[in-house]
Amino acid sequence: MENYIEHNNIPVWGEYDVIVVGGGVAGVSAALAAKRNGCKTLLVEKSVMLGGLATLGLIAIYLPLCDGRGRKVIGGIAEELLQLAIKYGYDNLPPEWEKGCNRVETRRRYMTIFSPAEFVIALDEVMQQEGVDLLFDTVFSKPVMENGICQGVILENKSGRIAYRGKMIVDTTGDADIMFRAGADCVESLNWLSYWAYSTSLAQMKKAVETANIVDGIRLQWFGGEADGRHAVKGAKKYYGTNAHEVTEFILKGRELLKSNLDNAKAKQRAYITLPGMAQFRTTRRINGFYVLRENDINTHFDDSIGTTGDWRKAGPVMEIPYRSLIAPGIANIITAGRTIAADGDAWEITRVIPPAAMTGEAAGTAAALAVQKRCSLADLPVVDLQHALEQAGVLIHF
């Protein structure tokens, strides 16, 4: 392959204690946590809104914060974000799960649908109120590495190619882009083609007017496969999300799936009102961390747990997430969170969704802030100090 060689002088625009790259729910949580722990914090996002898959990707179902048996298992910023998701928009949160309840007599789950647009507005508001610096429309390009330590990040935006120095970096790109480019060992997985989009119709509008509930006027439509391949299009191939050609094909095939379900004769009675603004990959690349969570870790105690999560698919199981699954050997000051933590098989199914993404984000941001304060590497951070800080912030560390 032919190569172009790049020689650039890249202006360093400033320095931050913590730079968070990727403004999905994991990144938002990480940035809030780092800021609340006293750090000058920058959040870099390649799109023009916060929330990632949960907003731009139209994945507007905030899965449970409980274990399905009436016990809350996720608190802290993940719970705060659920409340923010419904602050200005509709929801279907069971009323027994009012904010602050730790245990209620119900089998209904602490989860809700939400409106992506109103969630974006609430996220803008909280980030600005709390003083997190934001850079939208800015793509992370390269980490500047020296002996396993990331000195800063090179970014690309309308101003050109720029850089920021950072003491600690949180990789919440959803693709482990920074970890991978910094040399961390990573794992890639395939995805079934899926496509979620919003539609409306005259019949739904009529129903919404009758019930006086806007939710009845819109429909989140799902096409294609589940994570395990159920409902996948017959003969469909699976896609990697780390190859530009595959990403493009995945996006086009998703829209073709939607098109094949369009009934032209009904063009005046129905319309698609929003298509996803990012590729709906459940997984692309994740780290091979110091510890890889697996199915047999369900209901297991970890001394270095940074939080618990239930299983969104069924009542009962609880999973503690060890700090070691957020950090990688050989990488001193980059930590990941969200759908890129080290988890495999069923443990990945449990941890890849919105609540654990927010919960691990809070842990990553807090760990980064404590490591800045203690001037130590992430691997050398005393976990008891991290657990103490997280507990103070309402995180449930052990089940």
Residues that bind ligand FAD (CB under 6 A): 21-27, 44-47, 52-54, 59, 61-63, 139-140, 172-175, 177, 194, 196, 278, 280-282, 338-339, 352-354, 357
Shortest reach from residue 375's CB to ligand FAD, in Å: 27
* Closer to ligand FAD by Cβ: residue 53 or 292: 53
| Main-chain phi, psi angles of 380, to 5 degrees | -90, 0
DSSP one-letter code for 282? S
Q: Which is nearer to ligand FAD, 279 or 373 (CB)?
A: 279
Nearest Cα residue to 143 out of 333, 388, 353: 333
**In the complex, least distance from residue 266 CB atom to ligand FAD, rounded to whole angstroms:** 25
Provide the minimum distance between the beta carbon of 206 and ligand FAD in the complex, in angstroms, as a whole number: 27
Closest CA to 191 of 153, 145, 227, 151: 227
Distance linking the first and last C-alpha atoms of the chain: 53
The distance of closest approach from Cβ of residue 265 to ligand FAD in the complex, given in angstroms and rounded to an integer, is 29
Question: Pairing relation of β-strands 160-171 and 133-135?
Answer: unpaired
Is 274 or 377 the residue whose CB approaches ligand FAD more closely? 274
Toward ligand FAD, which CB reaches closer, 10 or 385? 10
* Residue 228: Cβ within 10 Å count: 9
Dihedral sign of CA atoms 163, 169, 174, 177 in order:
positive
Q: How far is residue 225's CA from residue 232's CA, in Å, rounded to a whole number?
A: 4
Report the half-sphere exposure of 365 (CA within 13 A, side-chain side).
38
For residue 56, give Cα distances in angstroms to 13, 47, 198: 28, 9, 12
Q: Nearest Cα to 218, choosing from 244, 241, 197, 234?
A: 197
SS3 152: strand
Smallest distance from the beta carbon of 284 to ligand FAD, in angstroms?
Answer: 9
Query: Residue 45 or 297: which CB sits closer to ligand FAD?
Result: 45
CB of 175 to ligand FAD, least distance (A): 6
Residue 239 or 388 with smaller CB distance to ligand FAD: 239
Closer CB to ligand FAD, residue 37 or residue 351? 351
- Bridge pairing between strands 41-44 and 133-135: parallel
Measured distance CA(99)–CA(321) in Å, rounded: 23
C-beta of 203: minimal distance to ligand FAD in Å? 25
